[in-house]
Structure 1
């Protein structure tokens, strides 16, 4: 006789660890236990599951004392006689899990069944306890949209639409040149970004014309001629440069590095739907906006990428913000990468190490693909 299955999970700040087994085992009915501190997290998890057509129930779970937890676990068990109960032990405190395990064992005193699973995201496996103990390999089930939604964020806009992809493809050779040879261009990137920023922020067409302190030469002049031939800007070999449009100015002000990352990601490294660039997201409950230069989801882990092209005056602040966003959007198994066309100081590298943010700067920008391949293989 096949018993109707119900999955019971405990809302946690690491919601992805709850969602992964629910997706992997196609849970159709889910009960989410929410402590007073985790009601918001429970709401985010329930939202994702309901959008997928699953039956979801949120149950309050008072965790103020062991006695109260034991009593509540027994109450829940009384509703589950004759059911196959799968308890997700990934969330909650140890005391909560023990109380639930002991309380839900009453299910087996009747005609029900109890199994317990634990999602080990670091090791990419799901462990089962009970009469048939086993370990399953964790399936790659979460996409970019799910990863954000389960943490309470929705996508407001990104560069996945066709127009942005075509625009990036039309100037891909210039973009790759700048990224692959970032070390050769050195401080020229800072000068170019400064002028392009002024042009992008200008109120009139005249503002699209800017002037270097001196005429670019050498490798920088070769780049400028390529950009001129592509119609991205007008340059006659002297100090003056005219950007073709405000959008083009935004590209040279820093957007090119984001496109460089996007071009590498679209080269087949990551599955469609698992990455994007120039992401604009909003928290579901507070409408608080955030921007992410690029984000990748692979094997249920997220990577956030921040791109900088000009002189790094507030690099430590940017790295701190990136580390905070990683924690909010990706949790304990998330990664963060800071990509800078300019070299960064040793104190910035030290701060990045403290916040567990990886850095590719200067000539190392050209190593982006090997770095991504290494991250994907972890």
Structure 2
């Protein structure tokens, strides 16, 4: 059912307001927004998504989102501009009172009303009654992140291929996961110390004191990612240093996600994403996403870790907070770790609804990702 205009109620959960506008079978020519004072930034973000797609936007300020009479009057005023009833209400957003007041106004004029199911990505027609509409999966990562308040989203263009030497290195690391797990943290530290103009650092311990570390360094040198000169470790460029500092696991996870793209109906996937937000009156905030993907118009975050942490729970809490901040109520999260997590941390991950794939499970990462992505669908 394609109408000229849609009225939406701007809220902190923006995705149900976006997905109908990206579906060619539903997409209107114009979107009208009821915007309360605390939702002005969200409304601006929505405008930045709609306008480039040829959808005109008009805002109606709602000074008090709890003033049902004023909300109803505003909805009726809007309806009067469309005498043929060529406008639908998306009743998904706003406060409950905003939704009820707008719903009653549209019902009184027998105007179309729909609701977007938050989990099943389906448009449900409330009035008049008709068959549900499965929404097209067209939402991309950049739009999703901007809808949740990101002012800038940087996504490196990595293509879908990982260089053969890095793929071979990854297979060696996974095959020797029990031998290398402890020393990967030391390599991460060295790569971090090399964040200088020379991209180099000194290796404190020699081959006899740390044989497994030196074996690990030689694997990275064979892959062309570093050079060892005595005890001097150097990297050819920042990308190589990134790979040595755990980036190889991100790239491996990203590669598997691209391989699952068709089978798991992944709409968009990227790795090493940087987002910046500038909250009004506050210091700009920068966040990094190791691997992010959109499936069924939902954000899936994957954190990749190759070093041990004193408190695994800190990593889990950080991932949980990031998911809530930029993923919304339907966001999902997974931790992919080269090291195993203790029993307490595993219980905490379950409590936070964060999926885990760690240590030897990484050898079957593709199966774990497939099961996670398709769970409950």
Unaligned runs of 5+ in 1: 109-113
Which residue pairs with 1:185 in the alignment?
180
Matched residue, 1:50: 51
Q: Secondary structure at the match of 1:274?
A: strand
Which stretch shifts more, 220-229 or 152-161? Answer: 220-229
- Tell me how far apart the structure 1 counterparts of residues 242 and 107 of structure 2 sit (CA, whole Å): 61
Deviation at 1:174, TM superposition (A): 0.6
Is 1:93 matched up with 2:95?
Answer: yes
Answer yes or no: is 1:75 the counterpart of 2:77.
yes
Structure 1 residue 48: deviation in Å? 0.7
Question: Is the contact between residue 34 and residue 59 of structure 1 (CA under 8 Å) also seen in structure 2?
Answer: yes
Closer, same or farther: CA 336–166 of 1 in aligned 2, 3 Å: closer
TM-score, with length taken from structure 1 = 0.85
Superposed displacement of residue 298, structure 1: 1.3
Q: Alignment partner of 1:232: what SS?
A: coil
8 Å CA contact retained: 1:312, 1:342: no
Is structure 2 residue 222 aligned with structure 1 residue 229?
Answer: yes
1:205 deviates by 6.3
Equivalent pairs counted in the alignment come to 365
Answer yes or no: is the 8 Å Cα contact 1:6–1:84 preserved in 2.
yes
Does residue 103 (structure 1) correspond to residue 105 (structure 2)? The answer is yes
Pair 1:214–1:158, CA change in 2 (3 A): farther
Change (3 A) 1:284 1:140: farther
Q: CA–CA distance in 1 between the matches of 2:143 and 2:49?
A: 7
Q: CA deviation at 1:159?
A: 3.0
| CA deviation vs aligned residue, 1:41-69 (integer Å, no higher than 9, x gap) | 22211221012121111111232233333
Q: Is the 8 A contact 2:106 2:113 kept in 1?
A: no
Distance 1:205 1:41 in 2: 41
| Number of the residue aligned with 1:262 | 254
1:332 counterpart residue number:
329
1: CA distance, partners of 2:294 / 2:175: 24
Q: Secondary structure at the match of 2:325?
A: helix
- How many angstroms does 1:132 deviate by? 3.9
Partner of 1:111: none
Q: 1:301 is matched with which residue?
A: 298
1:273 Cα deviation (Å)? 6.8
Distance in 2, matches of 1:84 and 1:64, equals 27
User: Are the structure 2 counterparts of residues 278 and 47 from structure 1 closer, same or farther at C-alpha, using a change threshold of 3 Å?
Assistant: same
Query: Any idea what SS the aligned residue of 1:211 has?
Result: coil
CA root-mean-square deviation: 3.0
1:302-335 deviation per Cα after TM superposition (whole angstroms, max 9, x unaligned): 1111121112124322222211111122111110
Distance 2:72 2:224 in 1: 71
What TM-score do the two structures reach when normalised by structure 2?
0.85
Instruction: Give the match's secondary structure for 2:156.
Output: coil
The ranges of structure 1 where at least 4 consecutive aligned residues each deviate by more than 6 angstroms after the TM superposition are none
CA contact (8 A) 1:89 1:117 kept: yes
